[in-house]
Homo-oligomer: A and B are copies of this chain.
Amino acid sequence: MPSVTLSDVAREAGVSLATASRAINGSANRTVRPELRERVLAAAAALHYSPDANAQAMARGRTTTIGLIVHDIADPYFSSIAAGVTAAAEQAGLMVTLASTGHDPEREIAFIEVLQSQRARAIVMAGGRTDDEAVNDRLRAALAAYRAGGGAVAMIGQPLFDVDTVVIENAAGAADLAGALHGAGYRRFAALAGPAGHLTARDRMDGFAAGLATHDAALSPEHIVRSAFTRDGGYEGMRQLLESGAAVDVVFAVNDVMAVGAMAAARDAGVAVGTGIGIAGFDDIVTLRDLTPSLTTVRVPLLEVGTAATELTLAEPALEPRIQQVASTVVLRDSTPPRT
């Protein structure tokens, strides 16, 4: 209601609007006498002046907003990334606008358009993509339109959209994991591979298989079960695997939450995780570090992934899309004890 404007401050201080503006934003060349400056600041304080960011955005032609689009902010994978993004954004003096899409590409597109309307400086997009090229094309188009308007974009995951991307070493990490498990004495492998079209899941599976191949081991097709990329998917997949009576000594779940579901399924089936059957995941979700047995996984520095993506969008635009790899490292824990 008592929306006090810069004009009010100027009048109160007995100076012109221009001077008030200069005194307050204190931009580069603040050509304003200290005396007046004080008067203005005092007036502003007295009137409880709060600059209107929207008006500033209009006048300056640029906002102070960065958009973050994730599949599900309640998922620890994404919330860790979000923590990195908010930290980097604050560092840069930006506010982050959060969109949680519930895995719906339509909403991703809608949010991109909204962020474009807000004239957000940049958009960070996280979350595994699928191989649905119809959807991908529309996403590409939305991003292209946004970028045409001067916005920067950074993706997190795999380099799919010809924009700056923070690439998570899914294949390499999974390959390393395969090697480590083989080194620990495991020989009969199975995998909870996630949904068919899921690219992250696919990369991890491919990497795991490649890693096994390095050691003359292999993953027979009947030991690969597909299910949702979620805790319940992991549970269901593991249940099926156990029910099939497959002779397996370790199972790789393509992410930690699926591994958690798998552990639960094993327990429910009376199979001891660790001694009875090994289970490994991917991501190293912090909240899950105290599971029993502790979960073997591949650590992805999610927080840094978030900050890296944010910084990418803030850097000088490059001609070529930048690809920034972040290393993933194997963490062997009790869910895959050495097999003698």
Contact = CB atoms under 8 A, between A and B. Distances in A.
Contact of A149 (B3, B72, B292): B3
Interface string A57-88: 11000010100100011111011101100110
Interface string A138-149: 000000010011
Given A96-B98, A98-B96, A74 B80 contact: yes
A224 to B, nearest CB: 23
A100 B87 contact: yes
Contacts of A290: 231, 260-261, 263-264, 291
A303 interface: yes
A29 interface: no
**Most B CB within 10 A of own CB, among A2, A53, A78, A113:** A53
Interface in A101-115: 107, 113-114
A76 B290 CA distance: 15
A118 B64 CA distance: 10
A267 B83 CA distance: 30
A48 interface: yes
A95 B83 contact: no
A169 to B, nearest CB: 21
Interface stretch (A10-18, A36-44, A156-164, A280-288): A280-288
Contacts of A303: 74
A79 B73 contact: yes
B83 A100 contact: yes
Contacts of A291: 290-292
A54 interface: yes
A53 B3 CA distance: 20
A86 B65 CA distance: 17
B73 A76 contact: no
30 contacts: A1-B148, A2-B149, A48-B145, A48-B148, A50-B116, A52-B117, A54-B54, A54-B58, A54-B119, A68-B98, A72-B83, A73-B73, A73-B79, A73-B83, A73-B86, A74-B79, A74-B80, A74-B83, A74-B303, A76-B76, A79-B82, A82-B98, A82-B100, A90-B107, A95-B99, A97-B97, A287-B287, A290-B291, A291-B292, A292-B292
Given A48-B145, A291-B292, 16 more contacts: A1-B150, A3-B149, A50-B113, A51-B117, A52-B119, A74-B82, A76-B287, A78-B79, A79-B79, A82-B100, A86-B99, A95-B118, A96-B98, A261-B290, A264-B290, A291-B291
Please give me the 10 A-B residue pairs with the lowest Cβ-Cβ distance, nearest first: A79-B79, A74-B83, A53-B117, A86-B100, A98-B98, A54-B57, A53-B118, A54-B54, A260-B290, A287-B287
Interface of A: 1-3, 48, 50-55, 57-58, 63, 65, 68, 72-76, 78-80, 82-83, 86-87, 90, 95-100, 107, 113-114, 116-119, 145, 148-150, 231, 257, 260-261, 263-264, 267, 285-288, 290-292, 303
